[in-house]
Structure 1
Amino acid sequence: MEDGNESPHGSTSEPEEDRCSEEDFGPSKLGTKEYWEDAYEKELETFKDIGDVGEIWFGEESMSRVLRWMDKAKIAENAAILDIGTGNAVFLVELAKHGYKNLMGIDYSAASVELARNVLLAEDLMDVTVKEMDFLNGQGELKGFDVCIDKGTFDAISLNPDNAKEGKRLYVEALKDALKDKGFFSITSCNWTKEQLLERFSEGFEFVEELPTPSFKFGGKSGNSVTALIFKRVL
């Protein structure tokens, strides 16, 4: 996410461990709606021109890892699933191909929503709902989800140059409202460690498990540049 070459998506050709670093954290244009509107306008033009859906946030493995967990957790095919910050809707496509039937994606970028709808149309997935909506200001519209999935949206909110602290607080409250009691929350992050996420989601959520991500060694110490955790909503 360095200036001039910023993207938290990560294309499928890049190793996942190369996409995030400790230096990425801090105020950034990646936390602005203008940045994403421009990025998805370009991806929309590319999709219309050549049918390329664009980059996959954190790569294909980030989707596969969540899908493997959903299989293990025996998430029902009719479970209500929300993709927070759906982008190009590629994860919604994978969820639908995996057999899930009650899917919704939201994004505050109008260009993202148009791209997502075009991608879903091309895949003949007209039963998948996509809405232009700011997750932080859903005004109670998002309710009753069995699973909420975030791959990088909380990261982007954390980079907002204007009021990241308030955005993070609103995110937690919005997530509490969106999930059913005992509903699951899957988060993939490159800005936050496991310990930081456990602290952030300590109120109203119960930690379930950490999903395996690529590890690295440096200076005799090992760690993970991407964190993927599962939480459960508890009242």
Structure 2
Amino acid sequence: MQEESEPKLRNPEMEGSRKPTTEPPSTALAYQDPHYWNERFSKEEHYEWFKDYSHFRHLIQAHIPSTSSVLELGCGNSQLCEEMYRDGITEVTCIDLSAVAVEKMQKRLEAKGYKEIKVLEADMLDLPFKEECFDVVIEKGTMDVLFVNSGDPWNPRPETVAQVKAMLEGVHRVLKPDGIFISISFGQPHFRRPLFDAPDFTWSVEWSTFGDGFHYFFYVLRKGKRLSRDESSSGKKEIPSISLFQEELEGEDFIFRTNIDENS
């Protein structure tokens, strides 16, 4: 990966979305506490994890047709659903475990005229939808929350594996036979693929990267397209550069990543 010869220009219009208006928690375990999120969302209007939409818009456009029915997991106060809507993807359902986030998102979308977007209070580990009802399920940083107390990333705790499995089973169930699951994550392929490739799932696994100082991963899992064991095992391992820009070192994403990849 080539290094940029000039400092990355900052976009003043995006500053509010990259810096949380609340202080990051003293421990990453707070990210699994519903009370933390309710309190945070009550004070914070908007925050984007893992870069804003402009950095991966080309990947969204490549994989999500405008006619798709989309489920977003853990919408929080992100503008992802709005950005997809403006790109013509209008059949979107958002869920979040935080009642505060859901209420504020509903009011924000109504005020902006995005009345077609549905926002529901729901648990991604127990999705309240019938089988095979969405073309696309997407999450951006939501699954990563499950890993903040995972221990050794090469051998995560059984509790973590059980939660991730419950989430993935729900996603697989609600996807249509040819649906896709998009996971936008810090988690590197050699940590994520053993979970994505569990025997119960029929999806193929591929990924792209985006970002500046280090990579974020854009996973695309296509239901019903799983390769044979021999073919899938030939996939490359991709380890990102960890050369960081100053704004990334100062951001909450870096704190989150440190706890995910180095927790023990």
**Superposition TM-score, scaled by structure 1 size:** 0.74
Which residue of 1 is the match for residue 204 of structure 2?
A: 206
Return the offset for 1:138. 1.9
Q: Indicate the residue corresponding to 1:95 in structure 2.
A: 84
Identical residues among aligned pairs (%): 22
The whole-number CA distance in structure 1 between the counterparts of 2:145 and 2:47 is: 16
User: For residue 32 of structure 1, what is the amino acid of its counterpart?
Assistant: D
Equivalent in 175, 182, 201 of residue 179 of structure 1: 175
Rounded Cα–Cα distance in structure 1 between residues aligned with 2:69 and 2:189: 26
Call closer, same or farther: CA 1:55–1:137 in 2, change over 3 Å: same
Q: Which amino acid aligns with 1:110?
A: A
Cα pair distance change 1:33/1:141, threshold 3 Å: farther
Matched ranges for 1:130-141 at <5 A: 130-141=119-130
1:72 Cα deviation after fit: 2.3
For 1:135, what is the secondary structure of its paired residue? coil
Q: Give the match for residue 59 of structure 1.
A: 51
- Structure 2 residue runs without a partner (length 5+): 1-12, 19-26, 151-156, 226-264
Aligned to 2:97: 108
Structure with bigger RCO (C-alpha 8 Å, 6+ apart):
1
Structure 2 contact 38–99 (Cα < 8 Å) conserved: yes
For structure 1, the 5+ residue unaligned runs are 1-10, 17-25, 44-52, 217-223
Find the partner of 2:106 among 117, 128, 148.
117
Partner Cα separation in structure 2 for residue 197 and residue 150 of structure 1:
14
* CA-to-aligned-CA distance 1:31-62 (integer Å, 9 cap, x gap): 2222111111222xxxxxxxxx32112231xx
Higher strand share: 1
How many pairs align? 198
Normalising by the residue count of structure 2, what TM-score does the alignment of the two structures yield?
0.66
CA contact (8 A) 2:207 2:217 kept: no
Describe the SS at the equivalent of 2:204.
Answer: strand
Aligned to 2:15: 13
Q: Is the 8 A contact 2:46 2:79 kept in 1?
A: no
Secondary structure at 2:125's aligned position in 1?
A: helix
Please state if 1:168 is matched with 2:169.
no
Q: Deviations over 1:142-166 (max 9, x none)?
A: 7421111111110112236894332
Give yes or no for contact 1:117–1:130 (8 Å, CA) kept in 2.
Answer: yes
Is the 8 Å Cα contact of residues 211 and 228 (structure 1) preserved in structure 2? yes
Higher mean displacement: 93-102 or 164-173: 164-173
In structure 2, C-alpha distance between the alignment counterparts of 1:104 and 1:142, rounded to whole Å? 15
Distance 1:164 1:77 in 2: 34
Matching residue of 1:20: none
Distance 1:142 1:114 in 2: 26
What CA RMSD, in Å, does the superposition of the two structures yield over aligned residues?
Answer: 3.0
